Amino acid sequence: MTESSRGFEERQIKSDKDGHRKRLRQRFRDHGPNGFADYELLELLLFSAVPRRDTKPIAKALIGHFGSFSGVLAASPARLKEVPGVGEAITDILKISQAAALRFARGEVDERRPLSSWSKVIDYIRTAMAFADVEEFRILFLDKRNGLIADEVQQKGTVDHTPVYPREVIRRALELSATAIILVHNHPSGDPTPSRADIQMTRQIIDIAKPLGVEVHDHIVVGREGHVSFKGLQLL
């Protein structure tokens, strides 16, 4: 191949790539995210991190590795870099995007504003925890108007267990003058079905909390496959 023909081919590839990016952006402007596959939305996100390469193969590889758009955003930097072609720039844009999504969801469950929309609480919890690699135990502390006083991760554990100390949970509620709490934890396996240990631990917290005037509104378990409410299952 001559130098001139090689140059022509490189220009043609660049033109095709630029054309694809313009078409994808225009489609997003015209229709929003409706009709976009996960990998296409990820492509758009990667444009700013990868200005001179075709982002489609990387986007498809990420989705294939982590299963979904949400799974990609939730993956740790170390795991993201397991995918060929993923370096610091891509990792940074993905983790910034995750932080932005969490900040948006957190804003919908604002401090001291009564939790009037249960769906927004669930959206925030799922954004924060559903795709985590290890179990986390989180507590939402509420005042007498069901306003959010604090949202704290109490413990982090392994892929299938996190230690929870019921007396420490209630001690913290009393420190914050909370009159109610919502318990939350995730199942990295994806299945949010409560275990026998989950049920036993929840009952221990309720038994300690009730005489002290702290109500356990619910215990929610989240996973990639959805969420389960103890109250909905009549386990409280």
112-229 domain in CATH 3.40.140.10?
yes
Q: How far apart are CA 112 and CA 58, in angstroms?
A: 42
Residue 149: closest CA among 118, 100, 120, 182: 182
Q: Check: CB of residue 206 under 8 Å from CB of residue 169.
A: no
DSSP 126-173: HHHHTT-SS-EEEEEEE-TT-BEEEEEEEEE--SS-----HHHHHHHH
Mean pLDDT of 85-104: 88
What is the CB neighbour count within 10 angstroms for residue 33?
11
Is the pTM higher than 0.75? no
Question: Tell me: the pLDDT tens digits for 49-68?
Answer: 887 788 889 999 999 988 88
Where in the chain do CATH 3.40.140.10 domains reside?
A: 112-229
- Kindly indicate the confidence band of residue 122, based on its pLDDT and cuts at 50, 70 and 90: confident
Residue 207: closest CA among 172, 175, 234, 169: 169
- Structure confidence at residue 8 (pLDDT): 36
- Kindly indicate the confidence band of residue 5, based on its pLDDT and cuts at 50, 70 and 90: very low
- Find residue 229's DSSP bridge partners: 220
Question: Tell me: the pLDDT tens digits for 156-167?
Answer: 766 666 778 899
Mean pLDDT of the chain: 83
